Structures are given as C-alpha cells and as structure tokens.
Structure 1
Amino acid sequence: MPRSKEFDYDQKLEIARNLFWEKGYHATSMNDLVDTLKLNRSSIYDTYGNKHSLFIKCLSSYILKKENQYKEAGKKGKSPLEAVHLIIKSVVKNMILEAKTCMSVKTTVELGKTDEETQALLNQQAKDSVILFSGLLQQAKEQGELAENKDPETIAHFIVASFSSLWNADIIFKDKKLTQKLTDHLISTINT
C-alpha cells in the first residue's frame, strides 16, 4: 500500500516556484530544492518528477496566477477600454510591490530560445494575453471607445511586448516614477 504524502503538494510547489523565480532555473540545484522544500530527493522525484518537470509545473502555476490576476483586474472595469487600463495598471502595481522581475520575463531570457517545453508555455501565455487584450479592444472599438483606424490585435501585441519593456526599464533604471510615466505613456498610446 503506497504511503500518503505528508506534505501539501501546492504549498511545496509554491515554495519551489519562489526559489526558481528568485534564482532562475540554471542556478537552482537539486540540493537547493531539497534544502528549501525540506523534502528528500526521492519525495521530490516521486511527486514532481525531475528538476525540469518541477520547474515546468512551477512556471505553469505562475502563468495561471498571472492569467487570473489579469482577469480579476479586467472585471473591475466599467468598460472594455477601462478593463485594459486596469489590467496594465495591475501588472505595474505587482511589479512594484513584488520588487522582482516577472518569472515569465526572467524565464524568457534564460530559457526561451533553448528549452522547447518552456518556450511553448511562454508562447501560449503570450497568445492567451493577446487574445484577452484584443477581445477587450475589439469590444472597445465596437462601443466607440477606440478609434476606427485602430487594430485591436496589433495593439494587443504591443501591450504584451510592452510588459517586458516595463520590467526591463524597472530593472535598469530603478526609478518607480519613471516606470509609472512609461505605464501612463503606454495607456495614452492606446487611447490616441
């Protein structure tokens, strides 16, 4: 009869996710995972698979968390265009509060070109974000909030690409006021 797990799967996954998020995939060793999770190697392998499998599970949970954040922020909008603005603002607010680089952005730089499974996850996340934004922007256009000459899909791609740029600027310049000005500029670019 197999033994039942004596730990919370999701709690340990979150701890591992935070470790990968802080150190990156390559800098996180199995010893780091054993020490941080306070689990032996066999429990990690039996429950989550190897280091790469555990990382993929962690990245997937992070992506799901971000998708839920976007949807929750968007629900607060009184109009489709306001929903877009609120999602953008929620991303920047979390950027400032978390004081660390988005795990997806960090992973894109570290593994985006070398790891097919990671690249596929990141690609799907970006596509899902584009679909979310383009849908809201199309509604905004239909309701007269967005000019007729604006292409919702192009703007959606621009927003998603701009998130990486905002993270990059925040890291390089370490100036929260500048990050906020860049965010305001992004929003005004959408509106004009």
Structure 2
Amino acid sequence: MARSKEFDVDNVLGKAVTVFWQQGYERTSMQDLVTGMGIHKRSMYDTFGDKHTLYMKVLERYAGTVSGKMESKVEGLSSAKKAIRLLFEAIAYNNGPEPKGCLLVNTAVELAVHDPEAAARVKDAFLDTEHLLERLLRQGQESGELTRSFDPSDMAAYLHNALVGLRVLVKTEPDAGRLQTIIDLTLKSLD
C-alpha cells in the first residue's frame, strides 16, 4: 500500500521556486532543494523526479503565476496606457518578499542556450506577456486612446523587450527615480 504524502505538494513546489530563483539552476544543489523545500530527498525524487524535471515544473508554475498576476493587474482597466504603465511599475516597484528580477529572465540567460526545453518554456512565457501587451495595444487603438501609427504586434515586441530589460535592471538599480525615468521614456513610444 502506497504511503500518502506528508506534505502539501503545491506548497513545496512554491519553496522550490524560491530556491531556484535565489540561486539559479546550476548553483542549486539537491541538498539546497531538500533543505529549502523541507522534505526528504526520496520524497523529492518520488514526487518531482530529478532536478531538471523539478526545474521544468518550477518554470511552469512561475510562468503561470506571473501571467495570472499580470492579467489581474490590468483586468477592468479602461485605459491601455494605464494598464501598460501598471505592468512596468509592478516590476520596478515590487517590494515583496520574493527575490528581485524574474526567474524566466534568469533562466533565459543561464540555460536557454544549451537547454532546449528551458528555452521553450521561457519563450512560451515571454510570448504570453507579449500577447497581453498586444491585446492592450489593440484595445487602445480601437478606443482611440492610442495612435494607429504603429503595428500592435511590433510595438508589443518592443515593449516586451523593454520589460525584460527592466526585470534585469531592478536587480542592480536601487534608485526608484531612475527606474521611473526609464519607464516614462519607454512609454513615450505610445504617444
């Protein structure tokens, strides 16, 4: 008879997100994971598989969480400009307990070149964000708030690139005023 799990799988996966986010994939040892997740090594292998399999589950969870947060931030806003600004400012001014920056961006830099599965997960998550931006831009054009002088798909790609850059910059830039200036200048492209 199989033993029932003595831990909440979702909770432990959330702890794995934090460990990988803080340390990166390569620097995280199995012992770091066992300690950070608060479970036995055998339980980790039985539940999540090897380190790489666990990391893919972590990326999936993280991407879903980020996507959900972004969608909920802009839900119900009638102004496309305000919605897009809110997405940028949420990244610049995140003072929550989680690490600075973005696990997806970290993965793109650390693993994407030599790990096709990680690259595909990151690309999918990035496309989700780009599609959200494109949808907001199209809504802004349809309402007359935004000019039709740009292609929404091209502008979404541009804004997403800036958003990724901001996710990197927040790891090293403590000056909130400087971050705000960067956001303001980036979003002038919508005028």
Give TM class, smaller chain.
Answer: over 0.9
Pairwise CA RMSD of aligned residues?
Answer: 1.6
The total of aligned residue pairs comes to 190
State whether residues 21 and 99 of structure 2, in contact with CA within 8 Å, keep that contact through their aligned partners in structure 1. no
Q: Which residue of 2 aligns with 1:91?
A: 91
Question: Which letter does structure 1 place at the counterpart of 2:21?
Answer: W
Aligned partner of 2:124 in structure 1 is: 124
User: Does the alignment pair 1:114 with 2:114?
Assistant: yes
Aligned to 1:77: 77
Q: 1:32, 1:124 → 2: CA distance?
A: 28
Residues 77, 86 of structure 1: 8 Å contact kept:
no
Q: Return the alpha-carbon distance in structure 2 between the equivalents of residues 77 and 7 of structure 1.
A: 39
Deviation (angstroms), 1:174 = 3.3
Q: Is the 8 A contact 2:130 2:156 kept in 1?
A: yes
Aligned to 2:100: 100
Q: Per-residue CA shift, 1:149-184, capped at 9, x if unaligned?
A: 111111111111112211333334432221111112
Structure 2, unmatched stretches of 5+, are none
**Could you tell me which residue of structure 1 aligns to residue 28 of structure 2?**
28
- 1:130/1:156 contact within 8 Å kept: yes
Higher relative contact order (CA 8 A, sep 6+): 2
Within a 5 Å distance, the mapping from 1:1-192 to structure 2 comes to 1-94=1-94, 96-97=95-96, 98=98, 100-190=100-190, 192=191
Deviation at 1:138, TM superposition (A): 1.0
CA distance in structure 2 between the aligned counterparts of 1:63 and 1:77, rounded to whole angstroms: 22
Question: Going by fraction, where is helix more abundant, 1 or 2?
Answer: 1
Q: Distance in 1 between matches of 2:152 and 2:92?
A: 21
SS of equivalent residue, structure 2 residue 170: helix
Q: Is the 8 A contact 2:59 2:104 kept in 1?
A: yes
Shift in Å, 1:31: 1.2
Instruction: Map Cα deviations across residues 100-120 of structure 1 (whole Å, 9 max, x no partner).
Output: 121111111101111111100
Normalised TM-score (structure 1): 0.92
Give the SS at the match of 2:14.
helix
Opposite residue 134 of structure 2, the aligned amino acid is S
> Which stretch of structure 1 is more off in the superposition, 21-30 or 101-110?
101-110
Which of 80-89 and 107-116 deviates more? 80-89
Structure 1: where are the runs of 5+ without partners? none
Cα distance between partner residues in 1 of 2:15 and 2:176? 28
Question: How far apart in 1 are the matches of 2:8 and 2:33?
Answer: 15
User: Whole-Å Cα distance in 2 between the matches of residues 169 and 16 of structure 1?
Assistant: 24
C-alpha distance in 2 between matches for 1:9 and 1:99: 21
Residues in 2 aligned to 1:99 and 1:183: alpha-carbon distance in whole angstroms:
21
**Identical-pair percentage:** 33
